[in-house]
A and B are shown apart, each in its own frame.
Chain A
């Protein structure tokens, strides 16, 4: 161990990794080399085997064949704990944190420093504070309970935990999926600090821009095979996408239909507000896709849940198809022809342990029980239209990939034939191909005269899909921009000029 390593020697080398589950081979002899101080991007569509490979490195799966070498020594991990102790830490999308315990207690869980028989709380706090500062998170108080932290801060706690374990390799699974843009830049800086310490980062993301911003090397997986590994400088976005999907996508977004006419206003708000948003005025017409942009916490999700009656508006007026309507509960909203596709697919969108069919019928059955029979008959066709890949309609949705889960969510809502569809981060955590499918569904709905209001943190998505873009900041709508604007324009509006930041 003590032998000096040549600079840039591989810390971790995986070769010939084969993994199958229940007779399906998901990795066919994949290899990967991580070098100290490099950020290594791992990309591929959903189902390409990225997560499986990551879990093998993390010790959560044991490969059927292939070898892992750490510093040239062959290793095998029977459990995640062994991998952690060997210096391979993993930051999953779902954090492994105790929300009711403090940052310090989380970082040192299982290894609490002791003085004699008792836990040395003061040292625990002090060490955690020093650790947070060393990775560039000065503002965090190590004694705060994790529940009070933002998603970005919780992620920092996970990273701090990994660093405290003397991790040589940190894998990150879609680390920016839940972050707003300004939080992403903080993550960038933290990753930079980590690489300066010689830590190798395995960075799994669907966001190509981040891959190019951060990574020095990129490995592409496709259908469980290793397509190749290239220095990032030799690739561009288009080329990378081609290698990922094996075809050139002419555009990331389906074209806007030519000369489509907008219909009557379907959803109108005037002076609407509740505890989280204020003075909201907007109109969405039939056939129109309106984008909602803004930083994390700007109030996009809150605006949607206000319209949908989950956090009902306490003031102002709402008109649906020209008629003034008060929505006080999601049930009323559904009856009035609204649908809300939430950002938290697993927590709020689906019943994970129920089958595809049960989920697809969930809303109809709850709100329009009389239409359940018809919806049940239409379900197979509707799911086929959405190109759902599942073993059958009786498969539990928890076993589907993120993209296919999202298709089930869409089917669930399309079953009630909504006139106004509210989408919150409709493509979060799903792969390029599935994203395109969601976009096509949106275009088709719009063409059928449905009004769509879409909140998204991904600016290219907002710009590529919307007919108009409303920008929110601090709970209010601060402006409207056309889809021809640049990302910088939207960001400038969302972040706000300094003079106005007094509120």
Chain B
């Protein structure tokens, strides 16, 4: 009976894409350590590791959110402006002093979530593709920021600034918060119906719909979570810089960098396949690269060149793997 079903050459469990991401990360770390040591400096110092982890935190928040949105089959280009908005809103309210911290945080996250809700509704209700919807919303916010704020705005009280400076067991608090968010996002994706439906909608909205899934819900939720996480990133930047800035998000290039990190982490740009774990790996690779290049004082153009090369090579590798999915029956030298 089972002669037919399952009677195939053993289904090899291939190395998962996430595993490859982390192998690449290990290789990058090893290479960096060698290069830094060769330059007469030290890579594995507490200070340097903390610097790398700090680098990870901001991009990490944005990239986790971007992962959710991309998995659901959408895209978010408005994140840098949400980051700036959160820092402005937070700094504006916190300018009154310590009592403003909690209202500032709540207001910044609420505004961010509202932007996400707008993105999600435009994508699902008006059926505008996420790329265009969030590009438009991003431009609107950017215009508002540009006309209403020149230079820095508001300030963060010292108590709030400690978040940016606190280390717990050598790990920056902001990184710990980011990793906690990653854990929650992963839990949501793998262990809740919402998460399952998010993968389903990203894989094929039609299949999801015909299975009784309410296809708009996961997309809207992904956008709300993505913007909220971008808002958190804005608040942490505020804690570090102590003043709100209308351009801090766009300076960081968080829109394209987060998409690059997500794709580098093995998530399919078309949705439905990928993981938060992979994204964190992608973020870490970028952080290590950035760190080692600043330690070695690499010229900034070369920096971009290397980042770009890493993205292209990695994604080419994933694409090649997916083409090679079917193993050949005969090897090249086989004959007669």
Complex: A183 Cα to B3 Cα, angstroms = 10
B 1-29 contacts with A by CB, 8 A: 1-2, 4-8, 11
- CB of B191 within 8 A of CB of A119, answer yes
A80-B210, A150-B8 known; A98 vs B329 contact (CB < 8 Å): no
Determine whether B204 belongs to the interface, using a CB cutoff of 8 Å to chain A: yes
Stretch at the interface among B106-114, B193-201, B310-318: B193-201
Task: Collect the chain B residues with CB atoms within 8 Å of residue A98's CB.
Answer: 199-200, 203-204, 207-208, 272
Q: Per a CB cutoff under 8 Å, which of B5, B197, B210, B331 touches A153?
A: B5
- CB of A138 within 8 A of CB of B2, answer yes
Q: Per a CB cutoff under 8 Å, which of B200, B210, B273 touches A81?
A: B210
Interface string of A315-356 (1 = CB under 8 A from B): 100000000000000000000000000000000000000000
A84-B212, A144-B11, A299-B329 known; A182 vs B4 contact (CB < 8 Å): yes
Q: Shortest CB–CB separation between residue A112 and chain B, in angstroms?
A: 5
A 82-103 contacts with B by CB, 8 A: 84-85, 96-101
- CB of B330 within 8 A of CB of A110, answer no
Interchain residue pairs with CB less than 8 A apart (29): A97-B207, A98-B272, A100-B203, A100-B272, A109-B196, A110-B197, A110-B200, A110-B211, A110-B213, A118-B187, A119-B190, A119-B192, A119-B195, A121-B190, A138-B2, A138-B6, A139-B2, A148-B11, A153-B5, A271-B336, A273-B330, A273-B334, A273-B335, A274-B330, A275-B329, A275-B331, A278-B330, A279-B335, A279-B336
- CB of B4 within 8 A of CB of A152, answer yes
Task: Collect the chain B residues with CB atoms within 8 Å of residue A100's CB.
Answer: 199, 203, 272-273
Complex: A119 Cα to B211 Cα, angstroms = 17
Q: Per a CB cutoff under 8 Å, which of B4, B204, B207, B331 touches A186?
A: B4
Q: Per a CB cutoff under 8 Å, which of A101, A140, A279 touches B199?
A: A101
Task: Collect the chain B residues with CB atoms within 8 Å of residue A271's CB.
Answer: 335-336
A84-B212, A152-B4 known; A275 vs B330 contact (CB < 8 Å): yes
Complex: A121 Cα to B189 Cα, angstroms = 12
Q: Shortest CB–CB separation between residue B289 and chain A, in angstroms?
A: 29
What 9 A-B pairs are tightest by C-beta distance, nearest first?
A: A139-B6, A275-B328, A139-B2, A139-B5, A110-B212, A98-B203, A110-B211, A118-B191, A109-B211
A278-B329, A474-B329 known; A119 vs B196 contact (CB < 8 Å): yes
- Extra contacts besides A100-B272, A152-B4 (19): CB < 8 Å: A96-B207, A98-B199, A98-B208, A99-B203, A109-B211, A112-B193, A119-B190, A119-B191, A121-B190, A138-B2, A138-B5, A139-B2, A139-B7, A141-B6, A182-B4, A183-B4, A277-B329, A278-B329, A315-B335
Interface string of B164-208 (1 = CB under 8 A from A): 000000000000000000000001001111011101100110111
- CB of A117 within 8 A of CB of B192, answer yes
